[in-house]
Amino acid sequence: MAEQVYWEDISEGMELPSIVKEPTTRQLVQYAGASGDFYEIHYDKDFAVGNQLDGPILHGALKSAFLGQLVTDWIGPQGTLKRLQCQYRGMDAPGSPITAKGTVTRVYEEDGQRLVDCTVWLENTEGQNTTPGNATVTLPSRQG
């Protein structure tokens, strides 16, 4: 279980603890079954190559889920993910690690909630940001 992060301990510019994902073609087949996205570019090498790709590519929604994991692992059990958005700007392939990263961009209170905005992204092994995004979370206060 993740350690709890508290609103008072957060400051703008803080980095979220990164996570490395190592997706496999098998995971993409499993994800296709779970999500209902059976487009063959995600698991069939010949089909992907026939569509001018180097090989299978990760599902966009799976990449979004990796960013969601980054944030929810960080905020702990009492935090709440209020919003997560991302854009798919590059293709990532199974068999190549990708790293989910993030930084805190704003810490504020609104309507009685303690909120934190973050910039999040997936970075490939070449250091390219393939999936930029942002998230807003609520965090508990040490004051209750």
Whether 40 has a pLDDT exceeding 90, the answer reads yes
- Does any domain span residue 125? yes
CATH of the domain at 77: 3.10.129.10
> What's the structural domain count of the chain?
1
Q: Can you read off the two tokens belonging to residue 24?
A: 């496999």
For the chain, how long is the longest CA-to-CA vector? 59
Confidence label for 2 from pLDDT (cuts 50, 70 and 90): low
**Which one-letter amino acid corresponds to residue 8?**
E
The answer to whether residue 101 sits within a structural domain is: yes
Q: What's the CA angle centered on 70, arms 64 and 72, to 5 degrees?
A: 100
**Does position 57 have pLDDT exceeding 90, yes or no?**
yes
pLDDT at 93: 96
Mean pLDDT of the chain: 95
**Stretch 70-85: mean pLDDT:** 97
- Residues in Cβ contact with 137 at an 8 Å cutoff, skipping those fewer than 6 apart: 71, 75, 79, 80, 81, 82, 115, 116, 118
Q: What's the confidence (pLDDT) of residue 13?
A: 98
Decide: residue 138, CB within 10 A, 0-12 exposed, 13-18 middle, 19+ buried. middle
> Tokens in use for 89?
């700007």
Q: Averaged over 42-63, what is the pLDDT?
A: 96
User: Is 66 inside any structural domain?
Assistant: yes
Return the closest-CA partner of residue 114 out of 2, 5, 3. 5
Q: Specify if 119 maps to a domain.
A: yes
State the Cα–Cα distance between residues 81 and 68, nearest whole angstrom: 8
| pLDDT category of residue 143 using cuts at 50, 70 and 90 | confident
Asked whether residue 12 is domain-assigned, the answer is yes
Tell me whether residue 33 is in a domain: no
Average pLDDT over residues 53-57: 96
Residue 1, pLDDT above cutoff 60: no
Print the domain residue range for 98: 7-23+60-138
Residue pointed to by tokens 């944030």 = 71
Region 14-40 average pLDDT: 95
Tell whether 1 is covered by a domain.
Answer: no
143 lies in some domain: no
Closest CA to 90 of 117, 126, 119: 126
